[in-house]
Chains A and B, each alone.
Chain A
Amino acid sequence: MDSSLWQNTTPLGRMVVYVILIAVSVWVVLPFLWAVGNSFKDVVSTFSAGAFIPFVDYQPSLASWESVLGSPNALLALMNSFIASIGATIMVIILGTPAAYSLARFEFKIPSRDISIWFLSQRVLPPAVVLVPFFVVMVNLKLIDTRLALILVYTTFNLPFGVLIMRDIFRDISQDIEDAARIDGATEWQVFYRIALPLSVNGLITTGIIVFAFSWNEALFAATLTSREAATLPVYILSSRSTRGVDFNIAAVNTLLAIVPPVVMSLFVQRYLARGLSFGAVKG
């Protein structure tokens, strides 16, 4: 469906628009294509940057993929990343959903908006400020280099965010259905658990995916709190960068492994994404 703006755009204007969009698309897509191409090259052919076309410029091989996926450290990092991110996501949903519902539906002495702002303030705190205390606490609890430490940290940093976006989702649900259930004698818990929760499931999935992506991509605390056993992908990448230098083909495989999961997940949740990422400040 064209907008009236597009109908009022001159042919020259339309051409300019497409030229800009194609140029931007090339700029965005090029690094992805470069990584995919390099991941199928051997080390020698990565030295010629001009080798773009498989089978013509270079002979594609799966050697780099086999080399990375055959390395126990890489597989461990992949698994650690999944466990830490999924663990944090589950914790945020379990702790955050009830809190969000409570803020969306009930009045408190302190205005609900101010409680929300307080939650948000936790997200704004630069994590470097609390790096040392977290490290010391994890040493004392003997949690250094464990996935549990990462789950605790990622839950902490994403919970405020989760509460805000889920609160926004609950506010969208019509209260009429809930009131009808109350008249039929449902307890408050049943209203929350049986009615509000199932109605908001799409929004909750979006929230979960955003939390997953933030946890998956986190590097500062992962690099501080883990070294071997619980090292996640960013830590693995940073250490292979400093010990092995940069082999372009290996770098490409590592990059793709790290980038693909959250990017693919985000494709399924376009609808709430803008709202979620702006903490519900933008209705999308």
Chain B
Amino acid sequence: MPGTKDRWFKFLLLMPAVLWVLAFTVYPLVAAVRYSFSSYVMGRGIVGWVGVDNFTNVLTSADFWHSVLITLIYTVVAVGLEVIIGVALAWVIHLNMPGHKVFRAIITAPLFTMGVAVGYLGVTLFSSNGGLYAHLLAQIGIEVPWLSTATGGLSAAILLDVWRWTSFIFLITLAGLGGISEELYEAALLDTRNQWTVFRYVAMPLLKPVVSIALLLRLVECFKTFGLPYALTSGGPGTSTQLFSTMDYLTTIQFFDFGKGSAMGVTFLVLVSVVIVIFFRQMRRQIE
């Protein structure tokens, strides 16, 4: 056991990281709250306090609520599809059939692809002028106005998100399946030959904690999504596919409205806190 002289050692190791995170996240968060109650002029700093005006401004803005709605739809649909497809694929690969390693490598390939690049490539996939998907669909007589309508643009972004992130759910679920003893399946197979029954009553209950962690991690990341939809549609046509992140970015960087930008951020944080609280409850149980 480490003796008393080592009491300082553990702090010495821990402190640099703690101080770094404190300095770079607590300060900005406090600053964001301050700015959200102020009028901020670029180059001059805070020029006055405006009370809750920025918040009234945000809360009564149709654009803000629209972006929250779009973010919600994007997140629920994309993450929902990713969980269903990812878990199904993990189960299939888990059968360890001949060739499973090749398929596993293919399914995980998009894991670390850059969102901006995927969105940019997406333009060339969905564009009605020579885009691959548009071309292939036209062969079977289907024409979808992918990038020229709100529904089309949002669907295209979600499809690309699913293409990219299903690999994440897949990988974590597969690791979870690896932790289930083969003997449990063998016992179940004495009673039934039905795969679905084995999955439903043996694997699913044991997988639940793992899948809920994967789901929550994806939810939390998805709320932050910026690069992929921004590169694909830039929020257009018009502002019809504007997500919270892209709108906050534009408010901050194009219009330099720091007071409103901060108020938007703080409001959004309050809105997603429910998810975040659930997240921590789950995480606390998993991390010992």
Contacts and interface: CB of A to CB of B under 8 A. Distances in A.
B117 A237 contact: yes
Given A21-B92, A281-B213, A152 B29 contact: no
Interface stretch (A32-40, A66-74, A199-207): A32-40
Interface in A101-143: 101-103, 105-106, 108, 113, 115-117, 119-137
A219 interface: yes
B258 interface: yes
Given A124-B279, A217-B114, A24 B107 contact: yes
A77 B167 CA distance: 28
Interface residues of A, number: 115
A251 interface: yes
Nearest to B29: A130
Contacts, number: 338
B96 A132 contact: no
Which residue of A10, A224, A255 has the most chain B CB atoms within 10 A of its CB atom? A255
Nearest to A256: B117
Contacts of A6: 95-97
A219 B114 CA distance: 9
Contacts of A119: 17, 21
Interface of B: 2, 6, 9-14, 16-18, 20-21, 24-25, 27-29, 31-32, 35, 40, 85, 89, 92-98, 103, 105-118, 120-121, 123-125, 127, 129-132, 134-135, 163, 168, 171-172, 174-176, 178-179, 182, 185-186, 189, 193, 195, 198, 210, 213-214, 217, 220, 223-224, 226-227, 230-231, 234, 244-245, 248-249, 252-253, 258, 261-262, 264-266, 268-269, 272, 276, 279-280, 283-284, 286-288
15 contacts: A28-B107, A95-B16, A116-B287, A128-B245, A128-B248, A130-B31, A132-B252, A134-B28, A136-B35, A137-B31, A160-B21, A224-B253, A246-B124, A263-B109, A270-B108
Given A126-B224, A129-B265, 15 more contacts: A10-B193, A31-B121, A34-B125, A99-B17, A120-B287, A128-B226, A133-B28, A192-B13, A219-B231, A233-B114, A241-B123, A255-B121, A265-B112, A282-B210, A282-B213
